[in-house]
Chain A
């Protein structure tokens, strides 16, 4: 009798276990920085990211597979980020993809992720050379990198001047966050400076970038024609305030896509009018279909992660776009490996490498007018290199409308040289063509 009841109990447990295993869940870890010096910028991004997952779940998941997500606070500290990575990579059946949200952490995880076979998406930050999928199998700098941003900013300035040749003899100051994030773009700017003959002046600002008086006094002395701002967090608003205090015209300032969001300018308000920033395709999109959908299906039901006013803002959209790319990668993997099934990290990596988001699909997703079509391949893990410039008018961001595309003639050789160097340093071999087909 006792044996029978034990067997029954064991069978019941086994059945529940199987049932649980069949509850189809795809786990997405969410690395955030909602605290610390970069919290004002990290919070809306995290909210957008999580809201998109909630939206997909409310629509039935990815072909029926529910999204499970868990947040882990890194406070923009690389060591804490590594701890979060180690903690979350095996949970809920295994992490599908990591988005480090920090260039420093990207460098650290680029070494670990291939060993654990987990893809990394780094939309608009991270290693610019990871565009080369032949060397960086598991890195996906989708939609753009720092080199793309820097290249298109110079193009925009060139257009404003009436031609890139008009840049000869001009002075461009590069005010940057003294960290891998800020330094990544320097090599491309130096390349462009050589090509067009303008003076590039490097002005590093020690993290977190609160103290910039000396930097802007120097700018007042040098009187550059343009200032490029590559800051993050508090550094951006501090820079704009110092620009006001030293009387540097904000129209002549161009920020990166990490320096051109609401938290950076709303403190300065009217005084920041004229400040431009290059946009990672999307800007502030309050009128877009996806924003309206999220408001209707997530916020109306009281499920919003943050305040309503935040929905549609620049960094919120960044989070939404990053989440969308992650989900589309899983969807693409499902198309090949089994619709409606939970995909493994190898499979989703293939998905990211074979993304084909055409205009029709983007419109259906609600990103029409927000993004350009994107398609990745083995050689190109970036997928697109379009940007736009938007300008702060004192109250909101407005766009000029023209799309800019990064110049592959300049970027591709630099990417090749850098990734070759990486391959030699790490004593790896490049991927074979057969490996690309898998």
Chain B
């Protein structure tokens, strides 16, 4: 029983981390109808920038404090991601307005390759470290109840807490601020929003910047856990089932989907995996999402797809 709880908690927290990456997808899709395959590359780019700038800034500016270096790096990378958002909008999105979904999807795949290459040219392709002070050793709860206690990874717990905080902040942003309302208006209907005076261009830049910031947070969390290297962009592939399970247009869907996929993955790997020889995590997540989709084709919380003739 103790081990089951361990796996369950591990799954929940892994799920929160996937949800963090999935949030970026959902934000952009909600506001501009673009499925941003480049989200993984953005996570990698942000993480690389963070790792390297945290290393370089102390050398360039001649100080020694790790906390200050991290803080400055976060600010610098956030600015960088806003720059990336602006560039993507100016150079790619604004020229592909009104194209169908598949062309936009392919364009974001092109951006993925570009960002992957650019990140490695500017920042390097070695493994880099992000050290924001997340604790690495495990915590053992309920030592008396279960033999050996239930293992909770402190790092994952902090990461899940950060993800939850980010979701709350984003929800408040969308509900309470004028920009948030404008974003929701654009997500509903581009033309109607334009007709009441909401500038689509700036909204898109804002959305991509927010998604870039989410990518930064995801990059810090994942990079701190796994080390920052090219393979970090594969994390996005693990977040895709979360996105389609929860629904492409729903922020709470990303969270719920994340938790479901996280639990499903870990439980299946630990309990079903040995029967099947192991390594079943990744396809199990997709098959799980597929099964949910058969019941609700638009995801758990997504907007219903209405075909008009």
Which residues of A pack against B, CB within 8 Å? 34-37, 39-40, 43, 178, 202-206, 208-211, 213-215, 217-218, 220-221, 233-234, 237-238, 241, 244-247, 263, 267, 271
Contacts and interface: CB of A to CB of B under 8 A. Distances in A.
B151 A246 contact: yes
Contact of A204 (B156, B225, B279): B279
B266 A213 contact: yes
Contacts of A245: 136-138, 153, 155-156
Q: Which 8 A-B pairs have the closest CB atoms?
A: A214-B269, A37-B231, A39-B125, A204-B279, A208-B231, A245-B153, A204-B278, A40-B127
20 contacts: A37-B234, A39-B125, A40-B125, A43-B126, A204-B278, A205-B279, A206-B279, A211-B282, A213-B266, A214-B273, A217-B3, A217-B10, A217-B266, A220-B6, A233-B231, A234-B229, A241-B225, A244-B137, A245-B153, A245-B155
Contacts of A205: 279
Given A210-B235, A234-B231, A241-B136, 13 more contacts: A37-B234, A39-B230, A202-B278, A206-B279, A206-B282, A208-B234, A214-B7, A218-B273, A244-B137, A245-B156, A247-B151, A263-B126, A271-B136
Which of A37, A206, A217 has the largest number of chain B CB atoms within 10 A?
A217
A132 B129 CA distance: 43
Given A35-B125, A263-B126, A263-B127, A244 B136 contact: yes
Contact of B7 (A206, A217, A244): A217
A178 B232 CA distance: 18
A421 to B, nearest CB: 23
A263 B274 CA distance: 30
B226 interface: yes
Nearest to B222: A210
Nearest to B282: A206
Contacts of B231: 37, 208-210, 233-234
Contacts, number: 107
Contacts of A209: 231
A37 B116 CA distance: 11
B24 interface: no
Nearest to A39: B125
Interface in B246-286: 265-266, 269-270, 273-274, 277-279, 281-282
B136 A210 contact: no
A214 B136 contact: no
B153 A39 contact: no
B138 to A, nearest CB: 5
Contacts of B129: 267
A438 B170 CA distance: 75
Contacts of A271: 136
Given A35-B125, A178-B279, A221 B232 contact: no
B14 interface: yes
B227 interface: yes
Interface in B114-145: 120, 125-127, 129, 136-138
B238 interface: yes
Contacts of B234: 37, 208, 210
Given A221-B270, A246-B151, A267-B129, A214 B281 contact: yes
B126 A221 contact: no
Contacts of A247: 137-138, 151
A181 B180 CA distance: 51
Given A217-B7, A221-B3, A267-B129, A237 B265 contact: no
Given A40-B127, A263-B127, A35 B266 contact: no
Which of A233, A234, A241, A271 has the largest number of chain B CB atoms within 10 A?
A234
A39 B153 CA distance: 29
Contacts of B273: 214, 218
Contact of B266 (A39, A43, A203, A214): A214
